[in-house]
Chains A and B, each alone.
Chain A
Amino acid sequence: KQEVTQIPAALSVPEGENLVLNCSFTDSAIYNLQWFRQDPGKGLTSLLLIQSSQREQTSGRLNASLDKSSGRSTLYIAASQPGDSATYLCAVRLDFNKFYFGSGTKLNVKP
C-alpha cells in the first residue's frame, strides 16, 4: 500500500525566509503528484500538479520538484509571507481511484 509522509508536521519561520517542504512516498509507480494548500476549516486549493514524466513545476514564488526514483517531492516557497501560513498537503495518484494524501505540514510565517 502506498504511504505518503510529510516532514516536518509543523514549521514556523520568520517572514522573508525561503523554505522547503518535503513529501515522500513508497510506491514510485505514480501518475502524478499534486500539492495543495488548506486554510483552517476550508477546502483544498491546488497549487501545483506534476505529471510522472515531469521533474518540476513552477508558479510564482512556488516551485515543486519530483524525483520518482527516490520517492520524493519538495515544495519550495521563496520569500515567505504571513499570507502563506496554512497547511500544505501533497497527494500522489496511482490510478483513477487511487489517491494517497499526506497528513500535511502546518506552516506559520511570522511577521
Chain B
Amino acid sequence: DGGITQSPKYLFRKEGQNVTLSCEQNLNHDAMYWYRQDPGQGLRLIYYSQIVNDFQKGDIAEGYSVSREKKESFPLTVTSAQKNPTAFYLCASSQGNLETQYFGPGTRLLVL
C-alpha cells in the first residue's frame, strides 16, 4: 500500500531534550512538508523540501530542524530551543509543486 507513515504515534519529551519524529513515504513524491497543529487552530508550516538535500523554512521553523538525505524520508527534530513543543505534528507529501497533499497519521508530542 502506498502512503505516508509517521512514528511514533505518541512522544514524550523531557526538559532540554531533543527528540526526532520520523516521516516516511513510498509514494515517490518529490515534495515533503512538516506541519504543526494546535487545538482549535489551523495547521502551520514548519519546514518543507522540494528535492533531496534541499529544504526551506516555513512560518514557524524556530526550534526545529530537518534533513532530507533520501527521497522517501524527512525526519523532524524538535530541539530544546522550542519552548512550547506540545502539539500534533503532521507530515505530508505531494508529487509536484501545486498538487494534492497527502498526510500521514500524525505524532502527538507531549512534554513531561
Interface on A for B, CB 8 Å cutoff?
4, 31-32, 34, 36, 41-46, 49, 51, 89, 91, 93, 96-97, 99-104
Question: For B105, what are the chain A residues with a Cβ–Cβ distance below 8 Å?
Answer: 42-43
Question: Given A41-B88, A99-B33, 18 other A-B contacts at CB below 8 A?
Answer: A31-B98, A34-B101, A41-B106, A41-B108, A43-B4, A43-B105, A44-B90, A44-B101, A89-B42, A89-B43, A97-B45, A97-B56, A99-B43, A101-B43, A101-B44, A102-B42, A103-B41, A103-B42
Contact B42 A96 (CB under 8 A): no
State the interface size on chain B (CB cutoff 8 A): 28
Q: Does B100 contact A (CB under 8 A)?
A: yes
Complex A-B: 23 CB contacts under 8 Å: A31-B98, A32-B98, A41-B88, A41-B108, A42-B105, A42-B106, A43-B4, A43-B90, A43-B103, A43-B104, A44-B101, A46-B101, A46-B102, A46-B103, A89-B42, A93-B98, A96-B50, A96-B97, A96-B98, A97-B48, A99-B33, A99-B43, A103-B40
Which residue of A34, A43, A101, A104 is within 8 Å of B100 (Cβ)?
A34
Binding site for A on B (CB under 8 A): 4, 6, 31, 33, 40-45, 48, 50, 56, 58, 88, 90, 92, 97-106, 108
Nearest CB in chain B to that of A49: its residue = B100
- A46 proximity list for chain B (CB < 8 A): 100-103
Given contacts A44-B103, A97-B48, contact A51 B90 (CB under 8 A): no
- Give Cα A102 to B100, complex, Å: 17
CB-nearest residue of chain B relative to A44? B103
Is the pair A43, B106 in contact by a Cβ cutoff of 8 Å?
A: yes
Chain A's closest residue to B96 (CB) is A96
Minimum CB distance partner of A101 in chain B: B42
A100 B100 Cβ-Cβ under 8 A: no
What residues of B have a CB within 8 angstroms of the CB of A89 in the complex? 42-43
Q: How far, in whole Å, are A64 and B57 apart by their CA atoms in the complex?
A: 31
Complex contact B42–A100 (CB within 8 A)? yes
Distance of A56 from chain B, by nearest CB (Å): 16
Report yes or no: B100 in contact with A97, Cβ–Cβ below 8 A.
no
